[in-house]
Amino acid sequence: MKNEVHPYTQWVDLASRQLGGQVLQSSDDFFAEMENLIKPEAPVFIDGKYTDRGKWMDGWESRRKREEGHDWAILRLGAAGNIVGFNVCTRFFAGNAPKQISIEACYSAETPNADTEWTMLIEQLDVQPDSDNFIDVGHGADSVWSHLRLNIFPDGGVARLRVYGKAVLNKDWLLPNEPVDLAAVNNGARPLMCSDMFFSSMNNLLMPGRGVNMGDGWETKRRRGGRETDWIIIALAAPGTLHKVCVDTAYFKGNFPHSFTLDALYMPSGEVHPDSAWQPVIERQLLSADSEHFYRNEVINTEQVFTHIRLSIYPDGGVSRLRVIGYPVSEE
């Protein structure tokens, strides 16, 4: 099974339930619950399945509006951050999709209320039924947002809302000299590129918690000649020094990598590639099945500040999670 390729492969879904995203309220979800908007799996259609309110649909669907106005849903992002684009997915909503949508955003430590000031990120525009509707963010892309309001005109159904971007590490929340997982998505890390992700997405590698099954990790196809290794390049949550690493092969039993290395570099411009001037952080280490592997004494170059890491696995296989504990440093 190959993963769907979309324009935001390098970015993370900030509304994901895995990060703690939540649909807080909606104007109406008579036909299908608002919580479906951020379900992690792709939407499905089940022919002949009905509820006492009508056809069962895998998304958020309001009733037909018979008065002026429009419907809306408010979401709390799992991680506050910068947003680069959306997918307003109307898959399987063919005759009942909205005609148009708009998206507003705010940053708030509290749940939005009637006094909340919203900023329009996506002006009202047409969306296609039964489709992925990818929308780039222009205005407001450099700002940090915590909540969204999806407006649909005038009513209808949206299967999923994906919010692609980068979490921003809130350094004000950290204690003095507190170590941080600099490879965690919810702190602001993100995968930039990898050699292969045939079976499962590179984004999974940096998600919170342990993997829930073999599909919840980064897994490459079986290597048949050619290069001897697969690799993934990750932008750290912040520049920092690296001191402790965990490589977790949870659920990978017959397909874990034989071994791995970890390298890093300092490149604040972000212009990295597989053949950049990488420096070793952990020399080649053996891995085992379905286990957490911890490294502290093996970590070298601990005084150096890095912005990116490269995990190389030999020759191929699956890794569930990668944790890189270190100390963020000021870029000033």
Q: Are 61 and 93 in contact (CB under 8 A)?
A: yes
Average pLDDT over residues 31-38: 98
CA nearest 311: which of 259, 269, 251? Answer: 259
Superfamily of domain 12-167: Galactose-binding domain-like (2.60.120.260)
Residue 270: what pLDDT?
85
Which CATH code, of 3.40.50.150, 2.40.128.110, 2.30.110.10, 2.60.120.260, is assigned to 171-328? 2.60.120.260
Quote the pLDDT of residue 3.
40
The confidence score (pLDDT) of residue 258 equals 97
Whole-structure pTM value? 0.89
Contact 256, 270 (CB under 8 A): no
Task: Give the C-alpha separation, 42 to 160, whole Å.
Answer: 8
Q: Domain coordinates of the chain in residue numbers?
A: 12-167, 171-328
Fold match between 12-167 and 171-328?
yes
Q: What is the pLDDT of residue 332?
A: 55
Tens of pLDDT, residue by residue over 276-331, are 999 999 999 999 999 999 999 999 999 999 999 999 999 999 999 999 999 999 76
Strand runs (DSSP E) across 31-182, as ranges? 50-51, 54-55, 60-61, 71-89, 100-106, 119-126, 134-136, 145-153, 157-158, 160-167, 180-181
Round to whole Å and give the CA distance between 264 and 156: 48
**What is the token pair recorded at 274?**
């597989």
pLDDT of residue 8: 84
1 or 63, higher pLDDT? 63
152-173 average pLDDT score: 95
